[in-house]
Structure formats: structure tokens, C-alpha cells
Amino acid sequence: MKKNFSFYFMLAILAGMTLVFSNCTKEGPAGPAGANGTNGINGTDGTDGVDGNSTCLECHTAAYMDAINTSFNEHKHVIGTSWARGTSGSCGMCHSHDGFVEFVRSGTMIGAEISTPLTCATCHDSHSSLEDGISAPMRSVPVPTSLITEGAVYEHGGGNLCATCHQARRGPASYYGTEDGTFARKFTGDDIATYQAHGAVGPNGSIELVGDTLFVVFDVPVATHTYTNSTHAGPHHGPQANMFAADMGSVIGTPFDRDHHTDCASCHLTNAEVGGGHTFVPDNAMCNACHSEAGYDMEAEQAEIAARLHAVEVALEAAGAIHVADDGVHPMYASLETAKWNAFWNYMCLYEDNSNGLHNFNYAKQLLTQCESALGI
């Protein structure tokens, strides 16, 4: 019992001492405020970034963008009826905005559910950043692969975007037959007079009018003749990449010497004063600024090509290969001697290129010479 008393007595003394010490160290009231200290040194200013508003307005003003939209919306990249073909799986890559974007993105050819014409975003991609350059960014595309020559590519630099679609869809070999054949067709309306006047039916073909229907039999001996089996025969519209490459005619030629001609835009998007260049009309004055020093006149060269091409056109219509109408030139169903058929094909290459030789003068002249020889011009 005595031991326990001593323990509790000591515990009480310790508790009392703790209370005394805690009262002695308790913080008192705050004293008066001291004087303000000296401010620290300012940090180094960062580098100013690009002024986004003024940079964007180099292009994105109402006047400038309206000029681009107006000229672009009047161009065949937007107007016309070709966009109806955009729902086709084999045509959508070039005949619809969505089809083209999907093709360059994944390489897959699709038919658009609803086909729409080209827009700014068909060819232009988003700006990555202001620091990386503010010029309108072009959509990145693979180097286009030829649709008529296996293994061939069309490297046109920035023009690869254009060459993806502006190339032939077929070559002349796709029309050459492998065995003799006869093909019967019926024509009505205005076609009756056309085929009665110029029908090329082959050595043993026939033309017979029964009532309001013209019955035509085309005889095609494969050793000597070639058959045109469509009124859309030819390399397809806009085969400019092939004119550069000189590979779509019945004869192969010399590719265009690119030299400083870096891409399609260097000629077709040069006139910023007219719709920002989006008329796509080349400025021949720019060409002559360089070539005239060598005595080369672009307009004169084109005029010569145009005159020769017209003479070939007249001869081909007389031979029954084409029909010339107010809305353009239309191939006719025909069985032609193969040499004349080759002349027809070469003519269609030049007609569809639509540059009067400008995209490759040497090759244009080579094709015309072959046409003139076959047609006796």
C-alpha cells in the first residue's frame, strides 16, 4: 500500500510541473509591425509569341476569302454534273469531296453516300501551328500511282495532289481485241443521221434503217481493225499527269523536262490578283518572261498545236471516229483500221489534256505527227 501511495504522489507532482511550464511558455500578444522589406528582382521576360490575329488576317479577310470562294465556286472543280458519279465506288475518289479525302487518308476507294463537289478542305489541310508557317497548308497525299502503267508513279512534288486525279484511267491496249467479232447496235433520233453520214462499220459491216430505228452491224477483224465500244472512249477526262509523263498515247514519248517547273501550282495558282489564283487559269505572261529570251512564244506554239489538232479532228469525223457537236467532241461506236483508231486515241489524249500542247509540247507534236500520217493529212 505504501508503494502505491509513493507512485501516485510522484505522478501528481509531474502533472503540476507540466501545467506550470506550459503557462510560462505561452505566446504573448504581437508587437508593432516592422518596416517593409526590399522587393525582389523581376524575372526575365519570355519571348513574344506570334500575334495570331494579325497573322491570320494576312489571308482571312472578308475581301480576300470572298474572292477565292467566288472564283473557286465558278470553276469545274465545283460546278458541273460530274459529282453525280461520286456515289460510285470506282469513281468516288475523284468525283466527291468525301471520296477524295478518304482515298488520300487510307488508300481506300469509296462511293460517297451523298456526293458533294470539292471544297477548300478537299485540297487544304488544317494549320499545324502558326510557328510552322502560315501559308495555306496542302493536304498530304502519297505519290500517285499510274492507273495505266503498272509500277509507274507520277512524282509532281506539290502537284501530287492534282496528279492523284488528273491522270488517265485507261490506255489504248484496253481496246485492242484478241479475236474477230461483230457487234450489233441500234440508233434512234439524231444519231441516225450521224451514223448514216459517217458510220465506220468495218469491211463487212452494215447499216439499215427500219422505220425510226437504224440497225448497225460493226465488223471487226482483229488483225486489221479496232472497235470503239463506247461514246466515252478515250483516256478519261483530265489526263494531264500523263501528258507530263508522255505515256498515254498509242506511242510512248519523252517525259516533260520539269527543270524549274516544280508542280502544277507554279503555273495554275499564280495570279493572286484574280480570286487568289483559284481560277486555275495559267498565266502565260509568266511563261514568256523566261521562254521569250530563247525566242519561244507560248501562244504561238499553242496556236500551231491547235491548228494541227483541228485538222486531225476534221479527218477523224470524216472517218466516222468522232462526232463534233456544240457541246464538244463525242467518240462514236466504230470499227476502224487500227492505224486510224490509234490516231483517234491520240487525238482524244490531246483533246482531254486541253492545254494545246502546253503540258508537253514535244509529246503533243509526236502524237499529232502519228495522227497526220495515219489519216493522210
Q: What is the pLDDT of residues 2-38, one digit of tens each?
A: 455 555 555 555 555 554 444 545 566 777 787 787 8
Percent of the chain exceeding pLDDT 70 equals: 86
The band of 201, judged by pLDDT with boundaries at 50, 70 and 90, is very high
Specify the 3-state DSSP secondary structure of 288.
helix
Q: Cell numbers at residue 254, please? A: 519523252
Rounded to an integer, the average pLDDT of 292-318 is 89
Is the pLDDT reported for residue 199 higher than 50? yes
Is the pLDDT reported for residue 200 higher than 50? yes
Is the pLDDT reported for residue 274 higher than 60? no
Specify the 3-state DSSP secondary structure of 216.
strand
Q: Measure the CA–CA gap between 119 and 269, rounded to whole angstroms.
A: 16
Is the pLDDT reported for residue 1 higher than 50? no
Percent of the chain exceeding pLDDT 90 equals: 51
Question: What per-residue confidence (pLDDT) applies to 95?
Answer: 94
Out of 8-22, 45-59, 298-312, 330-344, least confident range: 8-22
Cβ atoms 345, 236 nearer than 8 A: no
- According to the per-residue pLDDT averaged within each range, which of 34-43, 190-199, 249-258 is highest? 190-199
DSSP bridge pairs for 185: 216
Cβ atoms 104, 139 nearer than 8 A: yes
The mean pLDDT of the chain is 86
pTM: 0.81
Is the pLDDT reported for residue 46 higher than 80? no
Rounded to an integer, the average pLDDT of 237-252 is 92
Question: What per-residue confidence (pLDDT) applies to 35?
Answer: 79
Is the pLDDT reported for residue 156 higher than 70? yes
Question: What per-residue confidence (pLDDT) applies to 21?
Answer: 47
Rounded to an integer, the average pLDDT of 196-209 is 96
Q: Cell numbers at residue 263, please? A: 508542280
What DSSP string runs through 144-187? PBPSSSTT-B---GGGHHHHTTSS-S--GGGT--SS-EEEEEEE
Out of 151-160, 165-174, 180-189, 290-299, least confident range: 290-299
The tens digit of pLDDT for each residue in 130-146 reads 655 667 788 889 898 88
More confident residue, 294 or 263: 263
Position 310: which residue type?
A: H
The tens digit of pLDDT for each residue in 82-126 reads 888 899 998 999 999 999 999 999 989 999 999 999 999 999 988
More confident residue, 296 or 347: 347
Neighbours of 293 (CB within 10 A): 8
Question: What per-residue confidence (pLDDT) applies to 7?
Answer: 53
